[in-house]
Structure 1
Amino acid sequence: MYEFETIAAASDGGARLETRNPADRHSVAGRYLSSDPSRMGDVVGVARAAQRDWAALSDAARLSLLARFLTSLSARAQDIARSITIEQGKPLAEARGEVTKALDESAQMLASAGRPGGAVHATTRAGVTPVTVRRPRGVIAALTPWNFPALSPLRKIVPALAFGNAIILKPSEFSPGAACIIAEVARDVLPEGLLQLVIGGAEIGRELVSVPGVDGITFTGSVATGKAIYRAAADNLAELSLELGGKNAAIIHDVPQMDRCLDQVAGAAFLCSGQRCTAISRVIVRSELAESVIEGLAARARSLVPGDGLQQGTTLGPLISDQHLSRVTGMVALGVRRGARIVTGGAVLTGGACAKGHFYAPTVLRDVTSDNPVAQEEIFGPVISVLTYETLDEAMQLLNGVEFGLTAALFSSDITVIDRFIAGSESGMIHVNHGTTPDSNMPFVGIRNSGVGACSVGPGAAAFYTTEHAVYLGRPQV
C-alpha cells in the first residue's frame, strides 16, 4: 500500500483519500491526505515566489537540474510502474512502457526547451533591430487523468519547468501514486515550492483553475470537463492548453500484409484496455476486405489474457472503476439496440482472475452504421466498431463524421489514396501504415473537440509555456 501526504495545502488533521486496485475492488492501493480547497491561493503564492528565483537562473542551470531530476526518476522507474499497475490496472509491462516513454519524451522536451525560439527579424527602420524573445509564462496549473499516471504529469511538469515556470499539479484522485513518487523525487532535486502537488477530487480541480494568479492551465481529460475549465479560465484570462477526447479511426483500404496491419490496429485498440484518447475505436474497412478484417480482429481480441496486471501473462487489465464499467457496458448495449452485432466479447468478465475487478471482454462490433452511438461517442473501453465502405469518398466522410479530431490511421499502398488521406483527414495526428502511438519528439495535438491551444509535446509547446515579446534594439544616441 502506498501512503503520501501532499507537499502543500494539506487539510489540518484532514480528510484522507483512498484508492482501490481496479483488479481487486476490495484492495486498498493507497492512502493520501487530501488538499484543502480554501488554500489554493496560498499554493499559488508559494509557486509565484519559487518561480521568480527559478526564472532568474540561466537556461543551462535549469536544464542541468532537470536532467538530474530525470536521472533520479529513472532510478525509481520500477516503483512508479508498480504504482501505475496497482492503481490504474494496466499490465506491469505496459506500465513499464509508459514510464520509459515518459522519460524519453521528457528528455526530448529538455532538448526543445534549450532552443526557446526567439529570432532576429528583418528591419524596416534604419538603426533599429527587431528581435522576438520568449519569457516564462509564470505559474502553471496542471490537471492530469487516471489512464497515464506518469506520462501525463511528466508531459506537463518537464516543459513547464524547463521553460522557467512553476507548476501546481493535480493528478487524478483514482491514480495519484505515480505523481506522488515524482513529487518525492522533486523534493530532493528541485527548489522548494517549484513543483507542488494538490490531491483530491473535482472540488480541488475547480478551485485550482479558478484561483487568481494562475497564468496558464493545462488539462488532459474529457470534453465536458475541458469546457468547464475553459469557462473558469476566462475569468482570470489564463492561457489554456487542453488535450481532450477522441473517436479515432483506422481506414483499411488495400493491405499487402493483413496480419501486420491487424496486429497494429488491435494493439492500438486494446492497449490500456482501450482507455486512451488515442485508441483506435473505429475500423473503416473496404467492403471486400471486411470479413477477413472482422475475423482477424476477433481472433486477436480472444487471444488477450485478462487479469491482475501484476500477474505474469496478463495482457488485458481492468477498467478503472465500477462506474466506468457500467458506462462501457451501457454503450455497447445501446449500440446493439441500434443495429450493431457482437462478433466477440460484449460482456462483463466475472470469473477466475476477473472475479474481484472491473473487467470487460475485448469486443468487436460489426454492422455498425455511422449514426450509431458506438460510432460517434468516445467509449473509452476495449471496443472496436467496424464500419464498411465502397468508395474512398465514403471512407473519408465516415472518418471525419464525428465531433473529434485527435488521431487517424490509414493502411494502404496506393500513393493516391495516401495523399488524399493526408490532405483530407481532420485530425491533429495522422498516421499512414502504422498504429496511433505518437513519437516522443512529435507534437501531440488535437483539433475540433479534441484539443484547444498549443500542442503539449515538441517545440510547439513553447507557445503555451512562454509568452512572446517584441524587442526593438535602437542604436545609442550620440
Structure 2
Amino acid sequence: MTVEIRNPANPDEVVGSFPTLATDEVPSVIEAARKAQREWAKTPQPERGRIVDGFLNGLQARTEDIARSITREMGKIIGESRGEVNKALGEGRATTRRASAPIGEVLPSQKPGTVTYSTRRPRGVIVGINPWNFPFSTPVRKTIPALVYGNAIVLKPSISTPGAAFIMQEVADATLPRGIFQIANGSGNLGAALTSAAGVDGISFTGSVGVGRIVAQAAAANLTEISLELGGKNPVILHDASDLDAALDQIYAAAFAVCGQRCTAISRVIVRRELEAQVVDGLAKRAKAAQIGDGLDPATNIGPLSGEKARSDVAGFVDRAVAAGAHVAAGGKLIEQNGGYFYAPTILSEVTPDMEVARDEVFGPVLAVIPYDTPDEALHICNDVEFGLSACLYSEQTPMVERFLAEAESGMLHVNSGSFPEDHAPFVGVKNSSLGVGGSNGASTLHFYTQEHTVFRKGQA
C-alpha cells in the first residue's frame, strides 16, 4: 500500500506518494536489523563514527531536497526547513565527534591481582518513533547516536511527513552497511506493532503525552528501555530587560517559529505587571506584521498549520480562552488562502493562570500573556503545569536569575535568550515532558544507546 501526501498550504496539491509497511512484516524487519547489528557492533567505535560521518556528508549533499520535502509536507517556511537540516547535521556531527571518547571507568579493586572496570556495549535494535513537525531533525537525533554506539535502528516517520526519512534511506543505502538503518512507514497500528515487537532493545519516542503513555505501557510488557520526549507548555518570565525590543524579538521568534508547532515553543509570557502593557503592544505589533502564506514563498514568515484538525484545535483554544475572559490583542482568526490551513499569529492578553490556554499545550501560533506582581508568583505560575520541557527568563538581576535556575521545573533553562537548544547539549525534560534519559547529545544519550557492564578480571597466576 501507499500513502498520498498533500501540501497543507494548498491541499489540492499532491506532493508525494510513499509505500507503507504492513504490521505482519514487522518481525522480519526486526530480524534483519538484529542480524545486521551483530556485524555492525564488531566495527570499532571510532571507525563507526567515521562511517556515520560519511552518511552525514551524503545527507548534507541532499539539503535542498530534504528542506523542500519538509516545507511541502508540513508547511514550515523554507528557511526554517533549511535551518532544521543544518541543525540536525550539526547535532549529528557533535555525536560522531564523541566516537573516540571514553565510555567506561577503571575502579580500584577490593581483591589483589584483579582489575575492575566498567564498559558499555551496544543496546541492540532501536525503534525510533518520530513526529510530523520535525521530520528530519528528530529522526537524525535518534539515528546518529544509535549507529555510532553500535546499534541498528528501525525508524518510523510520521505517516503525514515521510519524505525526509525516505531520502535518509536512499543515502543510507549508499553509505551504510545494509540493514542497520531501515524505514518503517505506516499508521499508528504500525507504531504499536513496532513498540511491542519481540527483539526490540530500546524505543525512542517523540510525540504527545497520551501516545507516550501507550508506548511506555507497550515497552513495559517486554521490559524494553525507553526514551520519551513529550509535550511542553513552555514559559518565559519577563522580569526586566535593558533592551525590551530585543527581548520581544527573541520571544516572538521562539513562540511563532514553525507556526508555534514546536515542543519547545514559548507559549506563555509571564510578565511583571509594570511591563504588561508594553509587552502586549510590542508582541501584537509583531504578530500583525506577519506575512502568512506558502512556505516556499520567500516573502512568507509564517506558514500553515499541519492540517485541518490542527487548525480547528487552535481555533477552539482561542475561542474558549475568549469565552473565559481573555482578550485577543492580535490574530484570533482563520486566514483563507488557497484552501490552506492558515491561522493568524495570536496574542492573548488578560489571561489568568487557571485558564485552559495557560495550562494545556496548544501546539499552534498562540501566545498567552500572564501578569505577575512578585517573583514568588512568577515562579509559581511557571511551574504550575504538568509539563517541564523548556523555560526562559529575561532578567539582569542576579537574585532573580539564581532563583530561576534553582527553582524552575524544566529540563532546559534559558536566561536572556529564546528557547532554541544548542547542537551539542542534552535535550531533556522533566515531569510529563519526558521519561527515561534525554536525547540529542551528552552522557544521557550514551546511557540510552548502550548498556553498562562491569568487569572483574583477575590476572593469570
Give the TM-score band, short-chain normalised: over 0.9
* Aligned equivalent of 1:415, options 393, 398, 413: 398
CA distance in 1, matches of 2:339, 2:223: 46
* 2:327 counterpart residue number: 341
Aligned to 1:155, the other structure's residue is in SS state helix
Is 1:362 the equivalent of 2:362?
A: no
Q: Deviations over 1:146-195 (max 9, x none)?
A: 10111000000100000000000000011100111011000001011110
Is 1:467 the equivalent of 2:459?
A: no
Aligned to 2:64, the other structure's residue is in SS state helix
* 1:146 counterpart residue number: 132
Is 1:447 the equivalent of 2:430?
A: yes
Is 1:166 the equivalent of 2:149?
A: no
CA distance in 1, matches of 2:281, 2:112: 71
**1:16 to partner: Cα distance:** 1.3
**1:124 to partner: Cα distance:** 2.4
**1:112 to partner: Cα distance:** 2.3
Is 1:179 the equivalent of 2:162?
A: no
**1:303 to partner: Cα distance:** 1.5
Letter in 2 for 1:163: Y
Contact in 1 for aligned 2:46/2:99 (Cα 8 Å):
no
Is 1:424 the equivalent of 2:410?
A: no
* Aligned equivalent of 1:326, options 280, 298, 312: 312
* Aligned equivalent of 2:286, options 294, 300, 309: 300
* 1:406 counterpart residue number: 389
* 2:215 counterpart residue number: 229
Contact in 2 for aligned 1:168/1:196 (Cα 8 Å):
yes
Aligned to 2:259, the other structure's residue is in SS state helix
CA distance in 1, matches of 2:155, 2:163: 13
Aligned to 2:312, the other structure's residue is in SS state helix
**1:116 to partner: Cα distance:** 4.9
Letter in 2 for 1:35: L
* 1:12 counterpart residue number: none
**1:129 to partner: Cα distance:** 1.9
* 1:373 counterpart residue number: 356
* 2:419 counterpart residue number: 436
Number of aligned residue pairs:
460
Is 1:97 the equivalent of 2:80?
A: no
Contact in 2 for aligned 1:252/1:284 (Cα 8 Å):
yes
CA distance in 1, matches of 2:385, 2:98: 33
CA distance in 1, matches of 2:6, 2:205: 24
* 2:203 counterpart residue number: 217
* Aligned equivalent of 1:133, options 119, 137, 162: 119
Contact in 2 for aligned 1:116/1:462 (Cα 8 Å):
no
Is 1:397 the equivalent of 2:380?
A: yes
Contact in 2 for aligned 1:112/1:458 (Cα 8 Å):
no
Contact in 1 for aligned 2:393/2:416 (Cα 8 Å):
yes
CA distance in 2, matches of 1:114, 1:26: 50
Letter in 2 for 1:428: G
Contact in 2 for aligned 1:252/1:283 (Cα 8 Å):
yes
Contact in 2 for aligned 1:268/1:437 (Cα 8 Å):
yes
Aligned to 1:409, the other structure's residue is in SS state strand
Letter in 1 for 2:181: L
CA distance in 2, matches of 1:389, 1:93: 36
Letter in 2 for 1:231: Q
Aligned to 2:295, the other structure's residue is in SS state coil
TM score, norm. by length of structure 1:
0.95
Contact in 2 for aligned 1:113/1:159 (Cα 8 Å):
no
**1:123 to partner: Cα distance:** 2.4
Is 1:268 the equivalent of 2:251?
A: no
Aligned to 1:427, the other structure's residue is in SS state coil
Instruction: Spell out the pairing of 1:271-282 with structure 2 (5 A cutoff).
Output: 271-282=257-268
Contact in 2 for aligned 1:318/1:360 (Cα 8 Å):
yes
CA distance in 2, matches of 1:443, 1:272: 22
* 1:48 counterpart residue number: 34
**1:404 to partner: Cα distance:** 0.1
- Report sequence identity in percent: 47
CA distance in 2, matches of 1:468, 1:436: 33
Contact in 2 for aligned 1:243/1:450 (Cα 8 Å):
yes
Gaps of 5+ in 2: none
Instruction: Spell out the pairing of 1:14-93 with structure 2 (5 A cutoff).
Output: 15-93=1-79
Letter in 2 for 1:203: N
**1:335 to partner: Cα distance:** 1.2
TM score, norm. by length of structure 2:
0.99
Contact in 2 for aligned 1:349/1:355 (Cα 8 Å):
no
* 1:195 counterpart residue number: 181
CA distance in 2, matches of 1:465, 1:26: 42
Contact in 1 for aligned 2:273/2:371 (Cα 8 Å):
yes
**1:117 to partner: Cα distance:** 2.0
Q: Deviations over 1:97-137 (max 9, x none)?
A: 00000000100011123325211112222222210000000
Gaps of 5+ in 1: 1-14
* 2:238 counterpart residue number: 252
* 1:317 counterpart residue number: 303
CA distance in 2, matches of 1:219, 1:286: 37
CA distance in 2, matches of 1:426, 1:61: 40
Aligned to 2:378, the other structure's residue is in SS state helix
* 1:387 counterpart residue number: 370
Letter in 2 for 1:176: P
CA distance in 2, matches of 1:337, 1:463: 47
Q: Deviations over 1:42-88 (max 9, x none)?
A: 10000000000000111122111111111111110010001001001
Aligned to 2:41, the other structure's residue is in SS state helix
Letter in 2 for 1:335: A
Contact in 1 for aligned 2:48/2:99 (Cα 8 Å):
no
Q: Deviations over 1:190-216 (max 9, x none)?
A: 011110101111111010101110000
Letter in 1 for 2:308: D
Letter in 1 for 2:68: R
Letter in 1 for 2:233: K
Aligned to 1:342, the other structure's residue is in SS state strand
